[in-house]
Amino acid sequence: SQLTDVTLKSYGKNKDELIQRALMDNDFMKHLEHGQILTIMDCMHPTSLTKGCCVIQEGDDGSTVYVLEEGMVEVTKQGKKLCTIGPAKVFGELAILYNCTRTATVTALTDIKLWAIDRQGFQTIMMRTGLIKHSQY
C-alpha cells in the first residue's frame, strides 16, 4: 500500500543519520569507531509498538538494545518516574552492557517506532571497543 511505501522510505532515508545521532549521544557508545557504528546501523531492524505498551520490564532478562525513532517513552523504576525519552535516543543498553536484568521499566507514551539490535549482534560489536577490552584487564 501507499502507506507502507511511505513508511519504508522514511525509515531508509533517516535510518543512518538517526542511529548515528543516538549512538553519539550515549555515554557508552559515543567512543565507537566509525566501522562499528556502520555495523550497528546494518544490524538494526525496524519495529513499532502502540501507545501504552511495555517495551522493557524491570527485572526481566534483556536481549535487545533500542534506538527510538518516533514518539515518546517513559522510564520508571519501582513505580517511580525517572524520565521521558524522545527520538534519537538509545535505551535498553544497560542490561546488555552489564549483563544484568533490566534496571527500569520503559513504557510507550505514544505510538512509537524503534530500531532494535539483539544482544548477540550488539555484544559482538561492543567487544571490539577499547572500553570493554580495557575493563577486562
* Footprint of ligand PCG (CB under 6 A): 56, 62, 75, 77, 82-83, 91-95, 102-104, 106
C-alpha cell at 111: 505510538
Cβ closest to ligand PCG, residue 39 vs residue 107:
107
Minimum CB distance to ligand PCG, residue 21 (Å): 16
Cβ closest to ligand PCG, residue 7 vs residue 97:
97
One-letter amino acid identity for 117? I
CA distance 89 to 23: 8
Minimum CB distance to ligand PCG, residue 45 (Å): 18
Cβ closest to ligand PCG, residue 38 vs residue 82:
82
Minimum CB distance to ligand PCG, residue 136 (Å): 21
Minimum CB distance to ligand PCG, residue 10 (Å): 25
